[in-house]
Amino acid sequence: MQSKAEKAGLLERSVSSLKGVGARRSLLYSRIGIRTVGDLLRHYPRSYANYVVCEDISAAEDGSSISVKAYVDRKTQPVRIKGGRTMQRVHAVSPDGSSVELTYFNNPYATAKIEAGSEYIFHGRIQKDLFGIRMINPVLVQENEMGMLIPQYPLTEGLSSRMIASNIRQVLQDPDLEIDETLPPEVIDKYGLMGTEEAIRKVHFPKDDGEATQARKRLVFEELLVLSLGIKLRKSSMGGDKTGYSDLSADAFIESLPFPLTGAQKRCIREIAGDLGGSRAMNRLLQGDVGSGKTAVAAAAVYLAWKNGHQSVVMAPTEVLAEQHAETFRKYLEPFGMSVGLLTGSVKGTARQTLLKQIASGGADLVVGTHAVISDGVEFRDLDLVITDEQHRFGVSQRAMLSGKGTSPHTLVMSATPIPRTLSLIVYGDLDISVLDELPKGRKRIRTVLVDDSYRDRYLGFVRKTVEEGHQAYIVCPLVDESDAVPDAVSATEYFDRLRENWLSGIEVGLLHGKMSSQDKADLMEKFRTGLVKVLVSTTVIEVGVDCPNATLMIIENAERFGLSTLHQLRGRIGRGQDQSWCVLVSSAGSGTAKQRLDLLVETDDGFRIATEDLKMRGPGDFLGSRQHGLPNLAVADIVDDEKSLYTANDAAEEILRNDPGLKDSPALVSAVRKLFTESGQVFN
């Protein structure tokens, strides 16, 4: 028993307990998140180098990385150069007679080993020019490294892959090393995986590519499995017990709407009603592309909460959107005698005090607002339904704070960002999902065209014509004003002035941007919605949620500066009524990937396809934005490249939890889950 405990201790020991790891190297290790010996073993190579001596240097391409066997005939003393660095030159001759000049900067450690009169193998990028062949800071390859795959690790300045490899080799040779199996034996069998220890040994020092691939496959699977388990456990720990609502009919509400609901809207309302009538708190994502009519579904949920005697809250990411929602919800719900309050940062003084009292006394049945609704002074009498719109703009913790205003209230999160299935498994894996996959009838597909700015007179003429026909238009620019100066980008402020003087003179044009006060923004949006303002020049502040069905034209200047999903969201502001809508993407990106991306928007309005492409191009971190999104950092797996493994791991996680809901038989998995989630700052119990 005692020896077992000692052995287990090896992985928990600090890296500084290893030979050759002093204070300096420990510090470098800690910079890349390595503190213990166990962390070191789990620091996997990013790739492998395969040293093969180049037989014919004269044929090697300039700039390529090669290994050269060469005889050193002289070595200079180190000389000091600018910036306190040292430089040392080594002259060598290869067997084919080529002379090779090796230059080392700040590398006394490497050069100390090189002696004139001996032969070495150097690996590095070669530079060829009139004066011969050179290499800068080449690695000295050891004879025993030839013909092997040499691990290349993620590094920080001062650490080399060789240092890491030698420390890892030392650990792997330690007789006290004992690596526990993390996965249940059935899972290993079923998916044909390597054991943990074998995978760790082979990922660092594979015999060949096949071993490296198998080892990585196993580690990717394990990481994704741990991720899936964590998300599923988090889900089952949410949603407190409830007494189900008894009145689950939203018919009167549905009949009062000015339009017949789509089949998808009705289905989503049924799914929500099912949750509200159940014995656990609802935890549901309502996902629907822009314009699919999420607001009406949300209002039905609010209506049900009210019928059963409870308060609701709707949180939106911007004031403009909160005000618009307040107006829509009032229109839908006040006829039933419900009272709707609007709480944003600009509701101040006595108005705020009065509203807070109403909320606390239950006088307000629904509160619509920005994140102001999660601030301290806001107390509800009986909050039982919490709705967040455009969920991806809020972090997991804000969602949790909002829920904290009630006693495990029902939650509905709405998202217009069509998230590819891979990501939704991860980001929303703890939610049930309802999808609005049908647009309201009579919508015409938005026609999108891509032009360069030599067409400006023509498309601005089209803006004028659109207004003359009684419709409205958006003109979106990437910048607010010149102070944001980026060469060749159109700024909204300047463009606005030019438009009013020239192309759109005599037409009511408004300018909307994020630097305006919220009151001014709200006033302007109101004027646009009611049709007083015909053309809205703006930055992306209109990206989210704004609803003005009479707007049928959108011009997007410098379209190449926006992400695909942003463009799709922007475009979703039009095409909301019965009339044909047009989107003009203006870009001088003549060719290349920028143009390809924009062509995709011309070709399709399928939000899922666009999002999938966007995810591929930008990677998950960027795709989801900088906000906290509930996605832990992964060490080996890549949710785009390893999509298939993610599905398999997800199935395996379901199976494991079915057989052993509390993971009692898999303590190693429990600790892996904790580690993955706590290290990335996730709330996890």
Please give the residue ranges that form the binding site for Mg ion (CB under 5 A).
545
CA dihedral 590, 591, 594, 598 (to 10 degrees): 80
CB of 549 to ligand ADP, least distance (A): 5
Which of 369/440 has CB closer to ligand ADP? 440
Selection from 298, 314, 299 nearest residue 374 by Cα: 314
Helix (H, G, I), strand (E, B) or coil at 304: helix
Which of 216/294 has CB closer to Mg ion? 294
CB of 548 to ligand ADP, least distance (A): 8
- 261 near ligand ADP, rule: CB under 6 A: yes
Helix (H, G, I), strand (E, B) or coil at 413: strand
Selection from 291, 320, 318, 305 nearest residue 437 by Cα: 291
CB of 292 to Mg ion, least distance (A): 9
Residue 202 and residue 211 in contact, taking contact as beta carbons nearer than 8 Å? yes
**Cα dihedral sign for 77, 82, 84, 90?**
negative
Beta strand 119-129 with 139-141 is antiparallel
Selection from 121, 130, 118, 108 nearest residue 55 by Cα: 121
Which of 151/545 has CB closer to Mg ion? 545
Kindly tell me which residue out of 206, 293, 418, 575 binds ligand ADP, with binding defined by CB under 6 A. Answer: 293
Q: Which two tokens stand for residue 2?
A: 């005692």
Binds 395, which of Mg ion, ligand ADP, none (CB < 5 to 8 A, cut-off by type)?
Answer: none
CB of 633 to ligand ADP, least distance (A): 32
Which of 161/388 has CB closer to Mg ion? 388
- 440 near ligand ADP, rule: CB under 6 A: yes
Which of 223/319 has CB closer to ligand ADP? 319
CB of 128 to ligand ADP, least distance (A): 59
Element (H, E) at 476: strand 472-476
**Cα dihedral sign for 620, 623, 628, 629?**
negative
Distances (CA, A) of 125 to 66, 114, 139, 370: 6, 19, 10, 55
305-364 positions binding ligand ADP, by CB under 6 A: none
CB of 622 to Mg ion, least distance (A): 23
- 265 near ligand ADP, rule: CB under 6 A: yes
Kindly tell me which residue out of 194, 296, 402, 553 binds ligand ADP, with binding defined by CB under 6 A. Answer: 296
Q: Name the residue with the smallest CB distance to Mg ion.
A: 545
- 576 near ligand ADP, rule: CB under 6 A: yes
Distances (CA, A) of 150 to 28, 32, 615: 21, 20, 32
Binds 206, which of Mg ion, ligand ADP, none (CB < 5 to 8 A, cut-off by type)?
Answer: none
CB of 262 to ligand ADP, least distance (A): 5
Q: CA 190, CA 180: separation in Å to the nearest integer?
A: 19
Q: CA 298, CA 63: separation in Å to the nearest integer?
A: 60
* Residues near 541 by beta carbon (within 8 Å), at least 6 away in sequence: 318, 320, 512, 513, 514, 521
Binds 265, which of ligand ADP, Mg ion, none (CB < 5 to 8 A, cut-off by type)?
Answer: ligand ADP
CB of 389 to ligand ADP, least distance (A): 7
CB of 581 to ligand ADP, least distance (A): 12
Q: Name the residue with the smallest CB distance to ligand ADP.
A: 293
Beta strand 311-315 with 79-81 is unpaired
Q: CA 392, CA 414: separation in Å to the nearest integer?
A: 9
Q: CA 616, CA 564: separation in Å to the nearest integer?
A: 11
Binds 45, which of Mg ion, ligand ADP, none (CB < 5 to 8 A, cut-off by type)?
Answer: none
DSSP letter, residue 444 = P
Residue 471 and residue 552 in contact, taking contact as beta carbons nearer than 8 Å? yes
- 575 near ligand ADP, rule: CB under 6 A: no
Neighbours of 396 (CB within 10 A): 19
CB of 412 to Mg ion, least distance (A): 13
Element (H, E) at 590: none
Kindly tell me which residue out of 88, 214, 287, 292 binds ligand ADP, with binding defined by CB under 6 A. Answer: 292
Kindly tell me which residue out of 262, 466, 565, 645 binds ligand ADP, with binding defined by CB under 6 A. Answer: 262
Amino acid at 46: R
Which of 54/285 has CB closer to Mg ion? 285
Which of 292/417 has CB closer to ligand ADP? 292
515-574 positions binding ligand ADP, by CB under 6 A: 545, 547, 549
Element (H, E) at 369: strand 366-369
Q: How many residues does the chain have?
A: 685
CB of 567 to ligand ADP, least distance (A): 15
Element (H, E) at 285: strand 283-288
CB of 299 to ligand ADP, least distance (A): 9
Q: CA 38, CA 8: separation in Å to the nearest integer?
A: 10
Binds 290, which of ligand ADP, Mg ion, none (CB < 5 to 8 A, cut-off by type)?
Answer: ligand ADP
Question: Which region among 214-222, 256-264, 598-606, 667-675 touches ligand ADP (by CB under 6 A)?
Answer: 256-264
Helix (H, G, I), strand (E, B) or coil at 555: strand
Binds 634, which of ligand ADP, Mg ion, none (CB < 5 to 8 A, cut-off by type)?
Answer: none
Binds 645, which of Mg ion, ligand ADP, none (CB < 5 to 8 A, cut-off by type)?
Answer: none
Selection from 110, 172, 118 nearest residue 137 by Cα: 110
CA dihedral 180, 182, 183, 188 (to 10 degrees): -50
CB of 366 to Mg ion, least distance (A): 16
Question: Which region among 157-165, 292-300, 510-518, 642-650 touches ligand ADP (by CB under 6 A)?
Answer: 292-300
- 164 near ligand ADP, rule: CB under 6 A: no
Question: Which region among 107-115, 287-295, 393-401, 588-596 touches ligand ADP (by CB under 6 A)?
Answer: 287-295
390-419 positions binding ligand ADP, by CB under 6 A: 416
Q: CA 420, CA 590: separation in Å to the nearest integer?
A: 29
CB of 238 to Mg ion, least distance (A): 24
Binds 296, which of ligand ADP, Mg ion, none (CB < 5 to 8 A, cut-off by type)?
Answer: ligand ADP
Q: Which residues bind ligand ADP (CB under 6 A)?
A: 259, 261-262, 265, 288, 290-296, 416, 440, 545, 547, 549, 576
